[in-house]
Amino acid sequence: MEIAAERIERLQDLARAAASNGEDDRARYYVRLARRIAERNRLSLPREFRRFTCDRCDAYLRPGTNARVRVRDGHVVITCDCGAHARYPYED
């Protein structure tokens, strides 16, 4: 695996850990760093990363804590505390 991809994966783990400790600002910092690395290296972010981060405020989303998850019309709708919605097709 490429070094950049490894770093992104590691940052995702750190963001998840920080978010579950309630350290939202730290989680955001890791999310932003990972996005920047992806951009600079022209990598696409892992699907899990895209689903569990907010495009608007870069929060690492924890359903039930700082995000709500609904299933509607065959889509999963994730709403961040900042008010941003993300829709994904319902699968796996």
| Binding site members for Zn(2+) | 54, 57, 80, 82
Minimal distance, residue 20 CB to Zn ion, in Å: 17
For position 69 contacting Zn ion by CB under 5 A, the verdict is no
Identify the CA nearest to 49 among candidates 81, 79, 23, 13.
13
Stretch near Zn ion under the rule CB under 5 A, chosen from 5-13, 27-35, 39-47, 73-81: 73-81
Helix H or strand E segment including 67? strand 67-72
For position 77 contacting Zn ion by CB under 5 A, the verdict is no
